[in-house]
Chain A
Amino acid sequence: MFYPQEMSEIEIIVPSKDLIPVTKALSGQGIFNQTDVNYLGNDKENNQPNLWQDKASNYSMIERRIQSILNSLDIPDVSPINRSYGDLADIEKAQLAVDEIEQQVKGTVEQINFETKQIDHFNSLLQQIEPLSDIDVDFSQLRNSKYLYTTLGMMPPENIDRLKSSLSRIPFVFYKLSQNNQKAVVWIATSNENADTLNRAIKSAYFDPIHLPEDQKGTPLEIISTLNTGIAASKAKISELKTELAKIRADKEKQLTSILWDVRCSRMMASAILHYGRLKYTYIIVGWIFSSRVISMKEKLRGISQDVIIEVHKTERKNDSNDVPTALSNPRLIRPFQMLVTTYAEPKYGELDPTPLVALLFPLLFGAMFGDVGHGALIAIVGALVMSKKVKFLNFFGSLGPILLGCGISATIFGFLYGSIFGYEDVLKPLWMAPGANIMRILIIAIAGGVIVLILGFLINIYNLLVAKNYSEAFFGHNGLIGLILYLSLIGLALPVVGTIFPVPSAITHLPIPSSVLLVTLIIGVIGVMFSEVFQNLIEGHRPIFEGSIGIYFFQAFFELFEVVLSFVSNSLSFVRVGAFAVAHGNLAAVFFILAGMFGTTSSIGYWIMYLVGLVFIVGFEGLIVYIQTTRLTYYETFGKFFSGGGKRFEPLTLHPAENE
């Protein structure tokens, strides 16, 4: 639970004859993460062409062709989820079947496309000519002008100014007839002797000339009428052709989806095999498998093939085990919180999985900030409904259901502790204290809680580094032992001062440690942090111990210390928001009670409408803000101390399209 699943690297040598059943067995249980080793065996002695490459691209090509046909026939691309898959599909057979259907569909689709393009063309001409409809000029006559060279066309609007500017050497007339976001319709004229210059310029400005067909003569109004007749004829033709397509669809739908399924399964299989190493008569499969499943997998593979050779290497959790995929393994109850961890980063194989800590900390922080029996219960109910997937409009919460449920329950518990229900602070007796009446106390408790969380972060980081044998960072990193000593010394020395300003119990402010001891540890911490790089270089044997001159080093070390202390203070004070939000929650509810009171007494409907608006605002908006703050505290203040991430997600081999979906 505290580490990702233990992984073993497995290498399998399998004879060509057993390739497919072995591949299927590996993909069967979602426990094998394939490694691409297709470079193995690609040497001079084994320079035979890789047939799987051709197979994979052939299947892929057929799949795309089928999809294109399905698209033309308006058939949805849905795989028959419960269908099993047999051997590889026969490429030639599939190709023949697809050729035949494609032949039938292609002619009709091409005609539809032609007519559609014709309509688009007419529409495009209409759009261009419409701005000219008021001009009673025969365009064909204008085109045949003796001294004037004119051109009508479209161009990107953003190129217009540049085009005009590039024509500054010649006389010209430029009219923008219409413009939308993507194109402008323009008419340009110059004298015949400057036609070449104009053409060169307009071409480089991406001007697309409109060539009105020879038969489009007359005034713009006459041309518009002709084009509309053409559009109506094309639409009628398309309607006829679509009826033909519907017939083909009725005949071929089953056959097409069936071939698509076979081809898709085969393509996935061929793509997987493509990543195997290839020798003359055998294939080498390399990948990662859960260590707990190695024996069962070995048995299964040996049951399939007598000649299979299997070698397994158990993998240590080391600092540099970045290549090992990470499969988090947590109990069902806390598994939903994995999402919060992986959103931040995928843990490395050798790193502690922070999910259990998040599962505890996240609802705790949320509940402390949003403590209210009623509001918490509402969030818990929403979470439960999201999990049930029965309410469609809540589907946008995705996999957040269990997290909402956890946060809601925690907020409900804190509601009892704070004595708050639906914003009413005087109905329930607080089991602990009402934040609004104990502001300083709750703020100080929040910071104290933060200090505990940060110390925990330090400890986890030190543990992680020690396990990874990164001793220099464990002892002298800013988030390592020396950082912890400095942090604790600072807190120990600051507590008596805090006690004189704020109402903190003297048992806390006066620790049973003499201040002289704390001063010594503080000096150790300061020296350790300032010279952390030197100590680290000493431990790791790196030379030179000092980079650059000593003077510059001291200067940098001072600012480094300053930055570290500042970050300790800001990280700790960051948790004050937990207390602040607990106070703000009650106050926000009180504001809505006042607003509701402005609409009438509790017996009036206006009061309750306003109350409901407040309820929605608090649960929706404040709930969201608290969620964001909780995420921030978890990610930045807590994870920042010990969790580096950067691992590779475990991606099991899948050969079944339905599983892929």
Chain B
Amino acid sequence: MTSNATSDFASINARVRVMYATLLTSQDFIMLDETPNLEALLSQLKHTAYAPYLERTKEKELTARHAAFLMRMRLSEAFHSIINGSPEYTRPLLTQLYRYYQVNNLKAVLRGIVTNSSWDRVRFVLFPFDSEKSIPAQAMLETGSVTQAIELIKDTPFYETLSFAMKRFSVEQSLFPIEVALDMDYWRELWKEVKALPNEDRDFATRIIGPLIDMNNLMWAIRYRTYHNLSEEEIINYTLSFGYHVHDENIRGIAAGADISQIVKKIYPDLTNLDQIFLDIKTGLPKLELLLQKNVANQCHSAFVGNPFQIGIPLAYLVLFDLEIQDLVVLLEAKTNQTSIEELKGFLVNN
């Protein structure tokens, strides 16, 4: 740890630790799980750090979707605060991490166009960005055409990323090639930013971003094989060649038809219940994803132990915050649909 690292990260470390303390505890989640319905859940959430955000809208207007949108505002503000307060050389990585939500917004708008959804239906699904950073979502949706919508983001880096995918879209009329191209580009750029960091920070960032990339890459490969029945060549081309613990040979093994459970066990020897999950791979996949997410969350929590002056801490906090919101969205949907607590717990990272 150098004195430079200390001065670079002193302020952001303090800020993130305060923010980390405001993450919901398992006790909070138990109380939220046990609420009988959506109204009770929202009222319980108003006793948490989300209160000022949920209070931005009148109670009767507060639907599950709207509440999720408002809660994401908190995450958006956390990103702004952390990016602005972090050392200059770490900002490209943090900004790229933040771009994840832009990619998701873009995918949501394109899905909205394909399914002919109204703006009112799509707007609260989107992540709340500043007008400067956001894509012109409403105008894109109103074009009613994927091709015309993409023309509206001509001045963004997405346009270049999609130049080849759009040719496939025009032939296949499926969003699959577009979404894959966006995902692959996003994770490649994120990894590039991790690798561009100085030595020590690179190691810390790898410990947070690496498991995220592993999880996505592995899940893609398994899904392409089990759900989409893609060929070996296609699976290889639609996945990433790099990772932290998931290596290219693992992905190639899955693509070539090797036993998935053996590969997963080899990568994650500490994960339990894998045998049960692989009894029926199709129904077991969501459970596997949840286990991997918990693994990511554990990695993130462990970043807060040890050297406090490093990039892993803000990254870990942002990932944990995202997982928390993901859980809250599950809770909101579950309470809207009157799902039982037991059933619900199978979908929560923080249970």
Contacts and interface: CB of A to CB of B under 8 A. Distances in A.
Given A206-B164, A206-B181, A208-B164, A162 B52 contact: no
Interface stretch (B210-218, B235-243, B300-308): B235-243
A61 B241 CA distance: 45
Contact of A322 (B52, B181, B241): B52
Contacts of B177: 206
B234 A201 contact: yes
Contacts of A320: 55
Interface residues of B, number: 27
A163 B237 contact: yes
B163 interface: yes
Contacts of A208: 164, 167
A197 B160 CA distance: 28
B233 A200 contact: yes
Interface residues of A, number: 31
B241 A204 contact: no
Contact of A165 (B139, B142, B181, B236): B236
A631 interface: no
A26 interface: no
A169 B232 contact: yes
A286 to B, nearest CB: 11
A200 B234 contact: yes
Nearest to A165: B236
Nearest to B164: A206
Contact of B237 (A39, A183, A201): A201
A657 interface: no
Contacts of A162: 236-237, 241
Interface string A315-334: 00000101100000000000
A319 B248 CA distance: 56
Contact of A203 (B56, B168, B236): B168
Interface stretch (A152-160, A517-525, A603-611): A152-160
Contacts of B165: 206
B265 interface: no
A417 to B, nearest CB: 33
A205 interface: yes
Interface in A187-213: 197, 200-201, 203-206, 208
B202 to A, nearest CB: 20
B60 to A, nearest CB: 7
Contacts of B234: 166, 200-201, 203-204
A419 B251 CA distance: 74
A229 interface: no
A577 B167 CA distance: 60
A646 B232 contact: no
A199 B127 CA distance: 38
B61 interface: yes
A169 B56 CA distance: 58
A400 to B, nearest CB: 20
Interface in B233-290: 233-234, 236-238, 241, 248, 252
Given A39-B60, A169-B232, A182-B160, A205 B237 contact: yes
A201 B164 contact: no
A161 interface: yes
Interface in A1-41: 39
Contacts of B236: 162, 165-166
Nearest to A181: B160
Given A162-B236, A166-B237, A182-B160, A200 B168 contact: no
A613 interface: no
B231 interface: yes
Nearest to A320: B55
Contacts of B345: none
A167 interface: yes
Contacts, number: 62
A201 B252 CA distance: 14
A204 B164 contact: no
Contact of A166 (B56, B168, B233): B233
Given A204-B234, A206-B181, A165 B241 contact: yes
A182 B241 contact: no
A323 B55 CA distance: 9
A204 B233 CA distance: 8
Contacts of A646: 52
A120 to B, nearest CB: 13
Nearest to B58: A39
A322 B53 CA distance: 10
Nearest to A155: B164
Contact of A167 (B230, B233, B252): B233
Interface in B132-165: 139, 142, 160, 163-165
A275 to B, nearest CB: 13
Nearest to B52: A322
A74 to B, nearest CB: 18
Nearest to B138: A60
A154 B167 CA distance: 11
A320 B236 CA distance: 55
Nearest to A57: B142
B56 to A, nearest CB: 7
Interface string A138-179: 000000000000000011101101110111010000000000
B61 A197 contact: no
Contacts of B232: 166, 169
B213 to A, nearest CB: 15
A200 B177 CA distance: 13
A255 to B, nearest CB: 25
A332 B181 CA distance: 54
Contacts of B238: 204
B175 to A, nearest CB: 14
Nearest to A39: B61
Nearest to B14: A563
Contacts of B139: 64
A530 to B, nearest CB: 18
A154 B164 CA distance: 9
Nearest to A61: B142
A13 to B, nearest CB: 18
Nearest to A206: B164
B76 to A, nearest CB: 14
A322 B56 contact: yes
A165 B233 CA distance: 9
A33 to B, nearest CB: 15
Given A167-B233, A200-B231, A322-B52, A156 B164 contact: yes
Interface in A643-658: 646
Given A182-B160, A646-B52, A159 B237 contact: yes
B243 to A, nearest CB: 13
A162 B232 CA distance: 12
B233 A201 contact: yes
A322 B164 contact: no
Contacts of B52: 322, 646
B191 to A, nearest CB: 11
A169 B252 CA distance: 12
Nearest to A196: B231
B133 to A, nearest CB: 18
A203 B170 CA distance: 14
B98 to A, nearest CB: 21
A72 B165 CA distance: 28
A60 B241 CA distance: 46
30 contacts: A39-B60, A154-B164, A155-B164, A158-B188, A159-B237, A162-B237, A165-B241, A165-B248, A165-B252, A166-B233, A166-B236, A166-B237, A169-B233, A197-B231, A197-B233, A200-B233, A200-B234, A201-B233, A201-B234, A203-B234, A204-B233, A206-B165, A206-B168, A206-B181, A208-B167, A320-B55, A322-B52, A322-B55, A323-B56, A646-B52
Nearest 8 pairs between A and B by C-beta? A201-B233, A166-B236, A204-B237, A206-B164, A204-B234, A166-B233, A205-B237, A166-B237
Given A159-B237, A165-B252, A167-B233, 16 more contacts: A57-B142, A64-B139, A163-B237, A166-B232, A166-B234, A166-B237, A182-B163, A200-B231, A200-B233, A201-B233, A203-B168, A206-B165, A208-B164, A208-B167, A320-B55, A322-B56
